[in-house]
Amino acid sequence: MKSGSVDAVITDPPYMIGAISTGNAKNKAGSWVDLMNASFWYRAWMSEAWRVLKDGGYMVTFLNWRTLPMLMKACADAKIETSSLAVWDKDWIGPAGPAQLRPTYEMILFCGKGDAKIDNRSQADIFRLKWMARLGGSGHPAQKPVPLLKQIIELVTKPGDVVLDPFCGGGTTGIAAMQCGRRFEGYEGDPEYAALSKERIGNAHEPLRAFDTPANSVINKPGSD
């Protein structure tokens, strides 16, 4: 993609918390070294996303408390400007191990490029939307709710803007973008989830043109070239 060609990057990347190079299988998140090594991967894709993002646009990334150090290091190394850290209050208590508090939230990192600004000055850093895993129904284990993505998209873009999701997953960002009157481009490396994205977006909206390569899939709304 060309530099400065998208108005917003909104994505829910893999959280990268499964490494156990410590040799302790009980430590699902691995060691601090594992987390910092994962930050190199975050830096790679975030740098590319930052390159294609227009000045004045936002990169919005979902994360949890384990991945926060990775993202902050990646942003610092890539010289990506961090603007806000928001909390998504799910109003629902999730599962956890016996030594853990049960989670009710995820986080959302906003990175504004250049002269980016939030026009809606009434928006706080807490997004409240009830959600539980079984509500998704798409078959993707980390599906996010369409209304939440719509709220974020309307916050950082205008009608007709281009929204990019480099980890398209189940296609929720694409559905939300089109419902908001935005153009959408999404990449997904997993063929199963790429097919799921196309099906969900295609069922929700008019037929789409899809361009595939062995490495990824791109989903475009007609006329988005």
Domain of residue 179: give its range.
6-220
The two tokens of residue 108 are 């959302």
Q: What is the pLDDT of residue 193?
A: 87
Tell me, yes or no, whether 1 lies in a domain: no
Tell me, yes or no, whether 211 lies in a domain: yes
Least confident span in 11-15, 17-21, 110-114, 189-193: 17-21
pLDDT digits (tens, 9 = 90+) for 131-185: 986 666 677 777 899 999 999 999 999 999 999 999 998 899 999 999 999 999 9
d(CA 168, CA 193): 8
pTM: 0.85
Tell me, yes or no, whether 225 lies in a domain: no
CATH of the domain at 53: 3.40.50.150
**How far is residue 196 CA from its own chain's centroid?**
17
Q: Give CA separation, 106 vs 98, 103, 144, in Å.
A: 20, 8, 11
Q: What is the pLDDT of residue 170?
A: 87
Number of domains the chain contains: 1
d(CA 185, CA 75): 23
Is residue 91 predicted with pLDDT exceeding 80? yes
